[in-house]
């Protein structure tokens, strides 16, 4: 890809640090790191986790990778050790800009910023949290951060209207992806289809935690199954609500309709195998799962007002949107519509076009993220 000379390169700091808690790969994060490096800047990765897949990938793309791994905890000592290390790291490598991701790193970065010259920009990837400590961290980050980037209008409006963060602090910049790095050649999709034959094969992909509301997806499948519909649900991932959901399946007699796959690394095989993605989550930042479904032109059912869905999904045109507070009736209706073949056959293709247009990497989208660091 050839980048136009917009002048941003001359303004950009030479040494950029991507500060990130996890060592797991993230297409949005690694896309920015690789593109920054390709523009001639010296890019660093520093994680709280030990070296992992993310480090190996970025090291192959001219990013200098480091980790500072200590026993995890919520004690003051744990965070102070990370603050001290971040300060020393920035001074040792002459870091001039920090792009910090996720709450665990952001709380460290906003404290360290008072002891370093680097500009600190924190990226918030959630709407609300579920416990007092996390909410307290959000309050501290909101107070101390000088610039906060969010991926959706829902999070922006919530921070400004509900959390009373000054609008000039918060900047809405959509995620950017290198879609060429997503696995589009699947090996086991046919095997999955043969293992779970059904007229309509539905995918549920999300942690089993209260805010994901996975039980609603199970109840929607149950409603159609009780009408004699040939429908199956494959539920990926795990979490504290898993046993509760298994109990619902047992009590409703849905053992032949709902299957718990657990955590898997070949998510794209399941996306390719299924006909529709159902996503009842109450809160999101910007769902990667829906974008993965778009790559394969799949139909999706999501909740309105969640994450950035309302920014790019138009109900019944390129996806289905159901009520945020009471999604079950809408999910049942739309699943039946898809089952009976009454939905538009071009819906998945339209979603793919929209997602690629809005989120695919381009000189303009990359420079939007660069400009946050330079201005």
**Does the predicted model carry a pTM greater than 0.85?**
no
* Residue 247, in any domain of the structure: yes
Please give the pLDDT value at position 73. Answer: 65
* Residue-by-residue pLDDT tens, the chain, 375 positions: 433 444 444 455 589 999 999 998 888 899 999 999 999 999 999 999 999 999 999 999 999 999 999 987 668 899 999 999 999 999 999 999 999 999 999 999 999 999 999 999 999 998 877 688 888 999 999 999 999 999 988 899 999 999 999 999 999 998 999 988 876 667 789 999 999 999 999 999 999 999 999 999 999 999 999 999 999 999 999 999 999 999 999 999 999 999 999 988 888 999 999 999 999 999 888 888 999 999 999 999 999 989 889 889 999 999 999 999 999 999 999 999 999 999 999 999 999 999 999 999 988 889 999 999 977
Q: Looking at the structure, do residues 23 and 153 belong to the same domain, yes or no?
A: yes
CA 76 to chain centroid: 28
- Residue 299 sits in a domain whose CATH number is 3.40.50.2000
Interatomic CA distance for residues 256 and 247, integer angstroms: 14
- The domain of 50 spans 8-177+360-374
Closest by CA to 44, choosing from 52, 70, 5, 36, is 36
Q: Looking at the structure, do residues 291 and 303 belong to the same domain, yes or no?
A: yes
Please give the pLDDT value at position 5. Answer: 43
Please give the pLDDT value at position 300. Answer: 98
* Residue 241, in any domain of the structure: yes
Other beta carbons within 10 angstroms of residue 227's beta carbon come to 11
Overall domain count for the chain: 2
How are beta strands 148-150 and 15-20 bridged, if at all? unpaired
Please give the pLDDT value at position 6. Answer: 44
Q: Looking at the structure, do residues 249 and 133 belong to the same domain, yes or no?
A: no
The radius of gyration of the chain's CA atoms, rounded to the nearest angstrom, is: 22
Please give the pLDDT value at position 127. Answer: 84
Q: Looking at the structure, do residues 52 and 92 belong to the same domain, yes or no?
A: yes
Q: Looking at the structure, do residues 73 and 123 belong to the same domain, yes or no?
A: yes
Please give the pLDDT value at position 196. Answer: 97
Please give the pLDDT value at position 312. Answer: 93
Place of tokens 């790969």: 25
Q: Looking at the structure, do residues 129 and 160 belong to the same domain, yes or no?
A: yes
Interatomic CA distance for residues 221 and 165, integer angstroms: 41
Q: Looking at the structure, do residues 292 and 263 belong to the same domain, yes or no?
A: yes
Q: Looking at the structure, do residues 97 and 186 belong to the same domain, yes or no?
A: no
- Transcribe 43-107 into DSSP letters: EEEEESSPS-HHHHHHHTTTEEEEE------SSHHHHHHHHHHHHHHHHHTT--EEEEESHHHHH
Q: Element (H or E) spanning 16, and its range?
A: strand 15-20
């Amino acid at each position: 890809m050839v980048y136009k000379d917009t002048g941003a390169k001359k303004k950009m700091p030479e040494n950029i640090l991507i500060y990130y808690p996890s060592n797991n790969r993230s297409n949005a994060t690694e896309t920015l790191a690789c593109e920054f490096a390709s523009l001639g800047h010296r890019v660093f990765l520093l994680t709280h986790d030990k070296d992992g897949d993310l480090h190996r990938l970025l090291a192959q793309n001219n990013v200098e990778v480091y980790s500072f791994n200590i026993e995890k905890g919520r004690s003051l000592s744990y965070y102070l050790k990370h603050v001290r290390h971040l300060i020393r790291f920035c001074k040792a490598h002459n870091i001039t800009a920090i792009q910090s991701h996720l709450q665990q790193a952001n709380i460290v970065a906003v404290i360290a910023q008072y002891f370093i010259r680097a500009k600190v920009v924190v990226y918030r990837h959630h709407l609300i949290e579920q416990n007092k400590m996390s909410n307290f961290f959000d309050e501290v980050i909101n107070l101390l951060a000088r610039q906060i980037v969010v991926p959706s209008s829902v999070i922006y409006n919530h921070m400004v209207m509900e959390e009373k963060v000054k609008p000039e602090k918060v900047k809405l910049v959509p995620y950017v992806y290198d879609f060429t790095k997503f696995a589009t050649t699947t090996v086991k999709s046919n095997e999955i289809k043969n293992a779970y034959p059904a007229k309509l094969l539905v995918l549920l992909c999300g942690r089993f935690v209260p805010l994901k509301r996975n039980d609603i997806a199970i109840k929607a499948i149950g409603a159609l199954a009780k009408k004699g519909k040939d429908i199956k649900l494959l539920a990926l991932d795990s979490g504290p609500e898993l046993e509760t959901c298994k109990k619902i399946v047992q009590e409703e007699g849905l053992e032949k309709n709902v299957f718990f796959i657990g955590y898997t690394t070949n998510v794209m095989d399941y996306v390719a195998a299924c006909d529709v993605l159902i996503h009842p989550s109450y809160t999101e930042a910007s769902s990667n799962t829906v974008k993965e479904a778009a790559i394969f032109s799949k139909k999706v059912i999501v909740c309105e007002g969640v994450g950035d869905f309302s920014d790019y999904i138009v109900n019944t045109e390129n996806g289905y949107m159901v009520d945020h507070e009471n999604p079950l009736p809408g999910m049942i209706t739309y699943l039946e519509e898809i089952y009976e073949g009454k939905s538009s056959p071009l819906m998945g293709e339209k979603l793919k076009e929209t997602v690629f247009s809005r989120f695919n990497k381009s000189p303009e989208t990359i420079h939007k993220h660069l400009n946050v660091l330079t201005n």
